[in-house]
Amino acid sequence: MMNSYASIPGNTELNHLQRRKMELQLYMPPLTMEKEKSEAFWQPRLKQAWSKPLRETRKRVDEELFPYADVYRITYEGYDETPVSGLYMVPAQAAREGRQVPCIVIYPGYTAGAGYPEDHAGWLLAGYAVLAVDARGQGGETGSLLPSLHGMAKGWMTQNLLEGPDRTYYMALFVDSLKALQAAASQPEVDARRLVPCGGSQGGGLALAVAALCGLEAPAGIDLAAVLADIPNLCHVDQAIFSSAGSLSEAGQLASRKPEELSRLLEHLACFDNMNLACRISAPVLASVGWKDPICPPETVYAAYNRIHAPKEIRDYPFLGHEVNGAHRRDKLQFVLEHAGR
């Protein structure tokens, strides 16, 4: 329940938007998994994930529409033997000059995929390499070899959710997303010490998650210069499962069919909640939030954002829902320029 500020001297002169901002800034629900327990869960799994071979492939794609960029289709193995597909692009001039440049690693929103080169043209024009990756089984080129051990709600998010965290779709997705950083770092044109995880909605949640898990343990030579998390999902999951109209509502649908499993379901989800992970982020973060967002309600975003100890900024959009605007895209470019250079 949100705090009331009616009794604070001077607050009678604040307008509604100012009061709302204060409420969000002070919103600090209790963690659903203590830091020590979360670290004990993740550390052995991170060691295993980072040591797994990438088995990467890279193939040049002829792109007549993009004479100023070299475009490649790459694949790598993430959680299992599933080949995760990605679109890797680098400014042609940087490639010709043999310069290593920062790389924006882009995670997709729910049901989407890596997209087309033109979807990422802004980053290329600004001089950055881009690795845009699929989410397994969703709307890109990537399938999934993860077996389903029980029935699930529509979509992907409840796959094996009752079997334990290690077997869930979330575990596969998180490890796939971590390995995307290794795939980016392995490209000869990329400066592995200037990686920038980036995404919106599901992708924003994954950007926060990989930043947090890298803060716990990352391979030598891989560093994050910044993190861009737009309207991020996977935050304050115990609240979002009840309030979100997005992918986490699938967990609610599963729980409604199996009410006796609700506590176990929430316990498993807590392993992947950015509210519980965010304190480990060490790279600078730029986040965004729409105050009218029914998919990633502002309380859920702030519950994770307020736990970040690293340098951070958040852009509030009181009149937007599950979206960002052109001005925010310029802010992201400026933020990356300040923290990653070119």
Q: What is the rounded distance in angstroms from the CA atom of residue 204 to the CA atom of residue 244?
A: 16
The active-site residue out of 293, 316, 328, 339 is 293
CA distance 271 to 255: 17
- In terms of DSSP H, where are the helices of 7-65? 16-25, 35-51
Catalytic position from the list 85, 144, 201, 244: 201
User: What pairs with residue 230 in β-bridges?
Assistant: 200, 288
Q: Beta strand 69-77 with 227-230: parallel, antiparallel or unpaired?
A: unpaired
Separation in Å, CA 90 to CA 70, 120, 177, 188? 5, 11, 20, 10
| Residue 328: active-site member | no
Angle in degrees, CA 249, 199, 151, rounded to 5: 30
For residue 10, is it left (φ>0), alpha (ψ between -120 and 50) or beta?
A: left
To the question of whether residue 110 is assigned a binding role by annotation, the answer is yes
Q: Show Cβ contacts of residue 274 under 8 Å, excluding neighbours closer than 6 positions.
A: 205, 208, 209, 212, 232, 234, 235, 304
Per the annotation, the verdict on 51 as an active-site residue is no
* Tokens matching residue 6: 């009616």
| 268, 322, 328, 339: the active-site residue | 322
Is the Cβ–Cβ distance between 161 and 172 less than 8 Å?
A: no
Residue 214: C-alpha distances to residues 24, 126, 199, 223, 225 (Å): 27, 26, 17, 8, 12
201 is annotated as an active-site residue:
yes
Specify which residues 105 forms β-bridges with: 131, 197
* C-alpha–C-alpha distance, residues 95 and 91, integer Å: 6
The end-to-end CA distance of the chain, in Å, is: 44
| Helices 169-185/202-216 angle, 10° precision | 70
Cite the active site residues.
201, 293, 322
Sequence ranges of the binding site:
110
Sequence ranges of the binding site for substrate:
110
